[in-house]
Amino acid sequence: MKFNNFNLKIKFNKKKKILNIYENLIKEKNEVILSLDKSYKDTFSKKIVKKFKKINQVLVIGMGGSILGSKAIYKFLKPKNKKFIFVDNISNTPLHNDNKKKITLIISKSGSTLETISNSNILINKKNTNIFITENKKNYLTKLAQKLKAEIIQHNNFIGGRYSVLSEVGMLPAQLMGFKPEKFRRLNKLINKKYFINSLIQNVTSIFDLVNKKKTNSIILNYDDKSNDLFSWYQQLVAESLGKKGKGILPLISSMPKDNHSLLQYYLDGNKNHFFTFFFAKEKNTKKIKNRSLLDTHLYLKNRGLNEVSYSQFLATEKVFKQKKIPYRSFIINNRDEKTLGELFAFFIFETILLGRAMKINPFDQPAVELIKEQTKKILISKKYS
């Protein structure tokens, strides 16, 4: 993976401050950080994976961080001969039942997530293999699992949902897809690589500086459809971790190059309260332009693959941003594998925690969201919804 960092002039003392925060984070043995390393002990046994890995259909039910990580893994890596269906919203759309043997994986740290409970009630089939991931305490899902005599896997009490992708929450689904956790979890190798740490400190310092200058919209210019769910995961991570006390960063996702024809005009010539992340994945064997169908005016497209056309637009947009002095960074993916995706997860998790610490806010809670949950329950109890 190639990093192109923000090209901003940052004073040494600002970088030093972020570096100190990073060093303290490493020393404190935070459970989130520990989950990024291969030494992390999952709360499920290898026997479970061995027992169920031959089942090719998996239904995953969850909300937010309980499901976005595994969904990102599935869409980014596209495992062969595995069909995963993700239910991460309330919908009246019925799921097709083909009577094939399935695993239903129900995930909620609290065990009381309303949408997960509602969807589980409708979608759980006693004939399927039902596995629950939730905290080791009495809650709705543990009671339901016991009633169904289903497998219960303990959710790490010290890791919140949006940070749980490399814990059992993301790694059990990943193993059922056929992937190996140790290929994602490479913390010790990453923190000993200068390019990773230098890029991390440079990016955190730059973003913190931009936020202090009232540039608070973080816009992802994503040129890779298979990474859409990765950035949905990133969106929750950043918004829920940093949006507190009147502060925060608003992460927005643009689908490129499609949005060249809708939003790019605004990005280039509208309000200047944004900073940008370009993201591109180099692909081999993409569809090629049919030469015999080309008109003379567009012969420069001859023998070009669609990925090459998209990459040209990526480079052109970068060039214009540079000319206009619009703050941006870029990630270019050369290999679509567990190692690359694990590095991206680790980078964004570190970046978010360090920004939270620099902004003097707690990056691990989400107090305002709890108010919505309380009000929803009150309305349902009182039946004041008509």
**What's the pLDDT tens digit per position in 318-358?**
999 999 999 999 999 999 999 999 999 999 999 999 999 99
Burial classification of residue 269, based on how many CB atoms lie within 10 Å of its CB (0-12 exposed, 13-18 middle, 19 or more buried):
exposed
Element (H, E) at 130: strand 129-134
Cβ atoms of 208 and 359 within 8 Å: the answer is yes
Residues 109 and 162 sit within 8 Å (Cβ to Cβ) = no
Given a contact cutoff of 8 angstroms between Cβ atoms, the answer to whether 161 and 112 are in contact is no
Range 72-85 burial, b when 16+ CB lie within 10 A, else e: bbbbbbeeeebebe
Distance CA 260, CA 254 (A): 9
In 3D space, the residue among 283, 280, 223, 227 whose CA is nearest the CA of residue 256 turns out to be 223
Q: Using CA atoms, how far apart are residues 275 and 219, in angstroms rounded to an integer?
A: 6
Tell the CATH superfamily of the 41-182 domain.
Glucose-6-phosphate isomerase like protein; domain 1 (3.40.50.10490)
Q: CA 354 to CA 23: how far, in whole Å?
A: 10
Q: Where are the domains of the chain?
A: 2-25+185-367, 41-182
Asked if the 2-25+185-367 domain carries CATH number 2.40.50.140, the reply is no
pLDDT of residue 261: 97
Q: Which residues of the chain have pLDDT under 50?
A: none
Tens digits of residue pLDDT in 341-351:
999 999 999 99
- pLDDT tens string 37-80: 999 999 999 999 999 989 999 999 999 999 999 999 999 999 99
The number of beta carbons lying within 10 Å of the beta carbon of residue 366 is 19
Fold match flag (2-25+185-367 vs 41-182): yes
- Could you identify the residue written with the tokens 């309330």? 90
Compute the radius of gyration of the chain from its Cα atoms: 22
Whole-number pLDDT of residue 6 = 95
Q: Are 202 and 15 spatial neighbours (Cβ–Cβ below 8 Å)? A: yes
Residue 363 in tokens: 């990056």
Buried b (16+ CB within 10 A) or exposed e, 338-347: bebbbbbbbb
String of DSSP letters for 189-246: HHTT-HHHHHHHHHHHHHHHHHHHTT--EEEEEE--GGGHHHHHHHHHHHHHHH--TT
- Classify the C-alpha dihedral 301-304-305-309 as positive or negative: negative
CB 313 within 8 A of CB 221: no
What confidence score (pLDDT) does residue 299 get?
A: 85
Residues whose CB falls within 8 Å of the CB of residue 171, separated by 6 or more in sequence, listed in order = 42, 181, 184
Give me the helix-helix angle, 68-77 and 168-177, nearest 10°.
30
Which residues have CB under 8 Å from 266's CB, separation 6+?
Answer: none
Q: What is the pLDDT of residue 363?
A: 98
pLDDT, residue 356, reads 98
